[in-house]
Amino acid sequence: MTEASVWAIVPAAGVGRRMGAAVPKQYLTVMDRPVLHWALETLLRAPQIQGCVLAIDPDDRLWPDFRPDTDKPLHVVDGGAERFQSVFNALEFLLQHQSPDCRVLVHDGVRPCLAAVELQRLLSEGLASDDGALLAVPVRDTLKRQDTEQCVAMTADRQDLWQAQTPQLFPLGLLHQALRQVIENGLRVTDEAQAVEALGFRPRLVEGSVSNLKITRPDDLPLAEAILRARAINDKASD
């Protein structure tokens, strides 16, 4: 393996309580395929990505029925109670088989609308950054901070603020060190970049798209379907 090799990590161990569905949200269907299928498809089609490590709930009984057909290696590890624990488990697995200089690209299993062009932009800029990189979009809406009564306490300055997305791309050894520190110190982070920042590194912000949405609530599903349908029409027209 060369230093430019990339492996994908997909945390998909969540149960999706906010969705109120009978199955975890990664298995809900969009255009007759599970959300997780769409999340994996774009990653596995990228020529730079050598394979994928998926972190799922140890009690997950649905995954075998949804496993995609791919020629690339697709490994499964146990997910943790928190997202960062799932990612750490996947990193531990990869370190047994790959060089710490390998790059890992972490992508949420419930982001089905990642476009190939955005992924390639991240890979192009991120592979040139020793500190890693992540897709993000500049904040466009006015931000309000609430008080204890859910009234406006203040208006936040949105200048220079970005909304983080995934994928996020880092050297395998660096991300493992960052998340190990998080776990050993009993901290909690909401994305990989936050853990890397705690070590003093400055990941690059790569502009993505608002269409790269994360499935969190029921009304996200029809929006994701509209995005994927429109993309399929555009792809067909350009053929």
Say what the pLDDT of residue 64 is: 81
Nearest to 49 by CA among 90, 102, 112, 115: 102
Termini Cα distance of the chain: 34
pLDDT at 175 over 60: yes
Say what the pLDDT of residue 44 is: 95
Q: For 76-100, how does the pLDDT look when each residue is reduced to its tens digit (9 = 90+)?
A: 999 999 999 999 999 999 999 999 9
Instruction: Specify which residues 168 forms β-bridges with.
Output: 106, 134
What is the rounded distance in angstroms from the CA atom of residue 41 to the CA atom of residue 56? 17
**What is the DSSP code string of 43-67?**
HHH-TTEEEEEEEE-TT--SHHHH-
What is the rounded distance in angstroms from the CA atom of residue 51 to the CA atom of residue 44? 7
With cut-offs at 50, 70 and 90, classify the pLDDT of residue 157: confident
Say what the pLDDT of residue 40 is: 96
Q: Cα 20 to the chain's mean position, in Å?
A: 22
51, 73 in Cβ contact below 8 A? yes
**CA within 13 Å, CB half, 142:** 4
Say what the pLDDT of residue 1 is: 35
Say what the pLDDT of residue 67 is: 81
Cβ neighbours of residue 145 closer than 8 Å, sequence gap 6 or more: 152, 153, 154, 155, 156
Q: Where are the alpha helices (DSSP H) in 48-140?
A: 63-66, 83-95, 116-126
Nearest to 212 by CA among 116, 105, 142: 116
Q: Average pLDDT of 59-65?
A: 87
119, 43 in Cβ contact below 8 A? yes
Structure-token match 């029809």, residue found: 222
3-state helix, strand, coil in the chain (%, to 5): 35, 25, 40
Structure-token match 């009304």, residue found: 219
Domain locations in the chain?
6-238
CA-based angle 214:218:224, to the nearest 5? Answer: 50
What is the rounded distance in angstroms from the CA atom of residue 82 to the CA atom of residue 88? 10
What is the rounded distance in angstroms from the CA atom of residue 194 to the CA atom of residue 192? 5
With cut-offs at 50, 70 and 90, classify the pLDDT of residue 36: very high
Say what the pLDDT of residue 3 is: 45
3-class SS at 152? strand
Q: For 179-223, how does the pLDDT look when each residue is reduced to its tens digit (9 = 90+)?
A: 999 999 999 999 999 999 999 999 999 999 999 999 999 999 999
Say what the pLDDT of residue 146 is: 95
Q: For 105-156, how does the pLDDT look when each residue is reduced to its tens digit (9 = 90+)?
A: 999 999 999 999 999 999 999 999 999 999 999 999 999 999 999 999 999 8
Q: Name the CATH topology of 6-238.
A: Spore Coat Polysaccharide Biosynthesis Protein SpsA; Chain A (3.90.550)
Say what the pLDDT of residue 14 is: 79
